[in-house]
A and B are shown apart, each in its own frame.
Chain A
Amino acid sequence: MKEGNSTVASLDAEHELHTEDPSGIDQVGETPGGPRRMVLNMGPQHPSTHGVLRILLELDGETIIRARPDIGFLHTGIEKQCEALRYQQVIPLTDRVDYLANLSNNLCYSLAVERMLGLEIPPMAQWMRVMLVELTRIASHLVWLGTHALDIGAMSVYFYCFREREEILKVFEMFSGQRMMTSYIRIGGLALEPPRGWHKAVANLTVRLAKAINEYEGLLSANPIWMQRTKGVGFLDLDIMIDIGVTGPMLRAAGLKVDARKDCPYSSYEKFDFDIPTRTGNDVYSRYEVRIEEMRQSVRIVKQTLDGMPSGDWQADAPGILLPDREKMKTQMESLIYHFKIVTEGFRVPAGSVYQVIESPRGELGYYVVSDGTANPHRVFMRTPSFANLQSCGAMLEGIPIADSIAALGSMDFILGDVDR
């Protein structure tokens, strides 16, 4: 397999990272960069790249001179597949794009299509969505914290984080029958009526999470080894990060208070009282602090949804779009006809386009949905945060030792499903 002239996306002009042998270690010795340089392949199978990511590292001893990420190993053509399905059928695909924050993707897509349809979602469904998406944020940050600490060497944190995440997944299973790929947030509201006993389960969960987050902080925040390995590591100038398109906790850890939940509120987020944590360190330690604090704020939001959950419908009133109640479908002719039409033909969305932005645990998640008036989307573009965040990899990894690169990569919190779709 021949590879053309590949170039590194680094800070200034482009250099050439000569990769005629893309399969492994290149010539040691006479590489174009000089006699001491070695090109090493990190990935695509690697425990610390958090997915199938390949990074070509040109090394001088232990120091990375240049880094070039190579993505596309998890590309499954989700966007192409969306064009062949009906609008509601796309929801399970969106679950699998960012497979650790499923409900965030569901929500973004549903909001986009609901905007095009002009659907009004009842307050109970909106609050329920907020609660579930915040629980998803906590679950995603728990995986991040566990795997990040594991990479750096603090292995026991992984078990603590997954212990709490297990409780969150049990709650998801209670709601939708599925632990991860819930597809619970659908166009028009929720997939099913919230189950009996959900309030008590989520209330117990918030108590447990509040204690657990203090526990994680106790393990890491003042730990001298953790501080030595993460403070000052992974620095990238804020202006460069903005120019490269980075969003999310990485910007907040550099002092910029930007969060789509506050800047362009959706799904009644404006009714909730929460803070956007920022730090100024702009290193791995600050990103860790920001995410811990974000977990706390998410617990705060979940508590508010528990206290003030409005009663009412869990689905919008849209008979031509949402499937009717099963009993009604069996007894009323009108409902039967609606059911038949929706299942066989699907509902049509008026021609147009929409770009809906939400704050996923990784940053700005946007869905650009283009409709041509038929029952299948014409184009669904997923502006995923990890794709842009990973672009900064080349700039961030220059000049740092390999051990620091693991910490820096972990702090980006990218997910390859998000990157490659």
Chain B
Amino acid sequence: MLPEVVEQNPTAVAIHQQFPEAIKKAEIATGELQLTVAAEQIVPLCRFLKESAGFNRLSGITGVDWWPQAPRFEVVYFLHSLQNNARLRLVVRLAENEEIDSVFHVWRSANWYEREVFDLFGIPFRNHPSLDRIMMPVDWVGHPLRKDYPTHGHKYSYRDEE
């Protein structure tokens, strides 16, 4: 069942009807509908949102690290519907080393965003066309945006290393 504050929202109702087990939490987070969904359902859910609910744009994907809470990661998807002028946030909660399917085949803009989340958080995306590091150099060790990675890096200077 959807909480009262969300029951009026047609998108949330439509998702709830199609994927009754997928929505774990629904809330209006500072003026925007935010749904916490199950990781296994992310690709069919996104495909449904793109084709039937009109969310033809993926604005971005990012991660949030809640270490030392468990499960530690959140992956947040920002969806945008051009024809309805509506926005939606999907949140997936993942444990460390847990994989999630890539939504590249739903929206191509997921490509670089998922690479960035993989690079900076270490969350692997299955079925991504080229999951390489994008911001950090390709041989970097560690994932900088994690909370257990120090703000200024592990070394004082990386200048004179091989």
- Given contacts A379-B64, A381-B60, A245 and B137 within 8 Å (CB-CB): no
B109 touches A368 (CB 8 A): no
CB of A69 to closest CB in B, whole Å: 9
A9 touches B30 (CB 8 A): no
CB of A55 to closest CB in B, whole Å: 14
A245 touches B60 (CB 8 A): yes
Cβ of A227 within 8 Å of any chain B Cβ, yes or no, is no
Residues from chain B with a CB closer than 8 A to the CB of A276 are: none
The chain A residue sitting closest to B104, CB to CB, is A9
Would you list which residues of chain B between 50 and 94 have a CB under 8 Å from chain A? 56-60, 62, 64-65, 76, 78, 82, 85, 87, 89
Cβ of A89 within 8 Å of any chain B Cβ, yes or no, is no
Residues from chain A with a CB closer than 8 A to the CB of B149 are: 80
Residues from chain B with a CB closer than 8 A to the CB of A240 are: 108
Cβ of A161 within 8 Å of any chain B Cβ, yes or no, is no
Cβ of B139 within 8 Å of any chain A Cβ, yes or no, is yes
CB-contact partner of A353 in B34, B57, B137, B138, under 8 A: B34
Distance in angstroms between the alpha carbons of A87 and B136 in the assembled complex: 26
Would you list which residues of chain A between 388 and 402 have a CB under 8 Å from chain B? 388, 391
CB of A260 to closest CB in B, whole Å: 10
9 closest A-B pairs by beta carbon, nearest first, are: A245-B109, A7-B130, A354-B30, A381-B62, A383-B60, A72-B135, A75-B135, A14-B129, A379-B64
List the interface of chain B (C-beta within 8 A of A).
Answer: 29-32, 34, 56-60, 62, 64-65, 76, 78, 82, 85, 87, 89, 107-109, 111-113, 129-130, 132-139, 144-145, 149, 151
Given pairs A3-B138, A243-B56, A379-B65, 11 additional interface contacts (CB within 8 A)? A7-B129, A9-B129, A75-B135, A79-B145, A242-B57, A264-B87, A353-B34, A354-B30, A388-B112, A391-B108, A391-B109
List the interface of chain A (C-beta within 8 A of B).
Answer: 1-9, 13-14, 71-72, 75, 77, 79-81, 83-84, 115-116, 240, 242-245, 256, 258, 263-264, 352-355, 357, 364, 366, 368, 370, 378-379, 381, 383, 387-388, 391, 420
